[in-house]
């Protein structure tokens, strides 16, 4: 396996291209070098394509963020803790970072420790596909994720009303100097991703071949838009 590439500094709004299909993996190989800043490899969604992963991941020119998502937070294949841990460990030597849900940090504690020992970026995440919890509830998630050893806290919620976006914007302000990745899903997802990137979200996710959740931008287009806002 090739040497891992570290994620870029988190002091800027980075764009993450999500790879969750075989066609997305093929598209990632041909991606121009400045199209995204890093790639999220959804190991749960690609668990049936391990030979393809093993042959393709070393060829990718971007830092890799490995995710083996819990089924309750959008994971594919109903994978148990042991299978998810094996997937992450199998490709950890190629990773620049790992994303583990807040609910899984104890169950996947060995992966968290291995990631820390290897100097990888540890993203601790929370996803709500039904609603946007209250600001106080989300602040509690932030505190718990920092306490669990997060280098970045990622929170993705479903936005059904403009006030839901307001909650995430307030959360961005409340996060202080700690790196956070905040995004909305659903009808207001696209506008939220631009607004939250401008408000300090350091990891901003877009798709390569097809959306993974409602409200995503194509990753290359998201990079162009965020660069335009910053300039």
pLDDT in tens, 157-167: 999 999 999 99
Distance CA 64, CA 213 (A): 20
Q: Active site includes 127? A: yes
> Residue 212: CB partners within 8 Å, gap ≥ 6?
18, 20, 42
223 is catalytic: no
Q: State pTM to two decimals.
A: 0.95
Give Cα separations from 53 to 38, 97, 109 (angstroms).
16, 17, 24
Of residues 4, 20, 70, 127, which has the active-site annotation? 127
What is the pLDDT, as a whole number, of residue 2? 47
Q: What does the DSSP 8-state code read for residue 44? A: T
DSSP notation for 78-141: T--HHHHHHHHHHHGGG-SEEEEEGGGTTTTHHHHHHHHHTT-EEEEEEEESS----HHHHHHH
The percentage of residues in the chain with a pLDDT greater than 90, rounded to a whole number, is 90
Residue 95 has pLDDT above 90, yes or no: yes
- Pick the catalytic residue from 70, 141, 154, 223: 154
The 10s digit of each residue's pLDDT in 68-85 is 999 999 999 999 999 999
| Cβ–Cβ under 8 Å, residues 8 and 38 | yes
**Gap between the Cα atoms of 19 and 27, Å rounded:** 9
Average pLDDT over residues 11-21: 95
* 1: pLDDT strictly greater than 50: no
Q: What tokens does 120 get?
A: 């990888």
* Mean pLDDT to the nearest integer, 164-190: 93
**209 vs 229: which has the higher pLDDT:** 209
Q: Cβ distance 171 to 210 under 8 Å?
A: no
Beta-sheet strand order (sheet of 217-218) = 180-185, 152-158, 121-128, 97-101, 64-67, 38-42, 14-19, 203-207, 217-218
> Does pLDDT of 25 surpass 60?
yes
Half-sphere CA count of 57, side-chain side, radius 13 A: 30
- pLDDT band for position 212 (cuts 50, 70, 90): confident
Question: Residue 73's pLDDT is what?
Answer: 95
Q: Buried (b) or exposed (e) across 81-100, using 16+ Cβ within 10 A?
A: eeebbebbebbbebbbbbbb
Tallying the residues shown for the chain, one arrives at: 231
């Amino acid at each position: 396996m090739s040497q891992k590439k570290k994620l870029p500094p988190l002091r800027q709004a980075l764009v993450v291209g999500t790879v969750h299909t075989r066609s997305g993996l093929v598209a990632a190989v041909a991606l121009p070098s400045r199209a995204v800043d890093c790639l999220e490899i959804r190991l749960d969604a690609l668990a049936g394509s391990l030979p393809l992963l093993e042959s393709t991941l070393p060829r990718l020119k971007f830092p890799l963020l490995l995710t083996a998502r819990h089924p309750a937070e959008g994971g594919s294949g109903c994978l148990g803790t042991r299978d998810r841990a094996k997937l992450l460990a199998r490709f950890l030597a190629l990773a620049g970072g790992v994303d583990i849900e807040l609910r899984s940090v104890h169950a996947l504690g060995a992966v968290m420790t291995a990631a820390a020992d290897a100097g990888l970026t540890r993203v601790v995440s929370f996803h709500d596909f039904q609603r946007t919890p209250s600001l106080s509830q989300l602040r509690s998630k932030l505190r718990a994720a920092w306490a669990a050893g997060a280098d970045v806290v990622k929170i993705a919620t479903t936005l059904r009303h403009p006030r839901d976006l307001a909650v995430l914007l307030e959360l961005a302000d409340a996060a202080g100097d700690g790196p956070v990745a905040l995004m909305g899903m659903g009808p207001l997802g696209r506008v939220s991703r631009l607004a939250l990137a401008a408000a300090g979200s350091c990891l901003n996710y877009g798709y390569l071949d097809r959306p993974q959740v409602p409200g995503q931008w194509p990753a290359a287009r998201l990079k162009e838009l965020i660069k335009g806002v910053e300039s």
